[in-house]
Each structure stands twice: as C-alpha cells, then as structure tokens.
Amino acid sequence: MIPVDKALHSAVGLAITFVVAYALLAFDFNWWKALLIGYFVTVAFAFLNELRDYLAYGLFDWRDITATLNPIVFVKYLIQLKL
C-alpha cells in the first residue's frame, strides 16, 4: 500500500505544476512551455523541501522527491482508496 505521505507529495507536485503553468498561460506562453516550466518549478520545490527537512530534522528521503515528481503515485493511491 502507498503511504499517505507519498500520495500527498505527489498531489502537491501536480498542483504546483499546473498552478505555475496556468499562471504562465496568462502571460501568453505556449501550453507546452508553460507545463515544462511548471514541472521544473516542481523539481526545484522537491529538492528545496528535502533540503529543508535535512537541515531542520536531519532527514533526507529520495522517495519523497520521486513521489513529488511522479503523478502516478497519486493516481495509484486514489485507485487503492476505491478498492
């Protein structure tokens, strides 16, 4: 079973990607450029979030980073909730 923590990381990654992309679409970016920039912002957020965890608590977990960058984790969690 997928832990709730990883599903939340994945949901936040999706949200950041699409919110940034939507904001960039308001500035007349192409949709694919907006999504690409949104994904790069998500990558930066994932690493900065883990850096904060490491500096504050001494914890570093690559699985949090990969869950943030992988939207399939969230989809799998939703499917498991249905079953």
Answer whether 0.95 is exceeded by the pTM. no
Q: Quote the number of domains for the chain.
A: 1
Nearest to 37 by CA among 61, 54, 19: 19
Q: Cα–Cα distance between 37 and 70 in angstroms, integer?
A: 16
Residue 3 contacts residue 59 (beta carbons within 8 Å): no
**Residues ≥6 apart with Cβ < 8 Å to 45:** 12, 13, 16, 68
Taking only the tens of pLDDT, the chain with its 83 residues reads 568 889 999 999 999 999 999 999 999 999 999 999 999 999 999 999 999 999 999 999 999 999 999 999 999 998 888 76
Domain that holds residue 77: 4-82
Q: Residue 62 has what pLDDT?
A: 93
Q: Residue 35 has what pLDDT?
A: 97
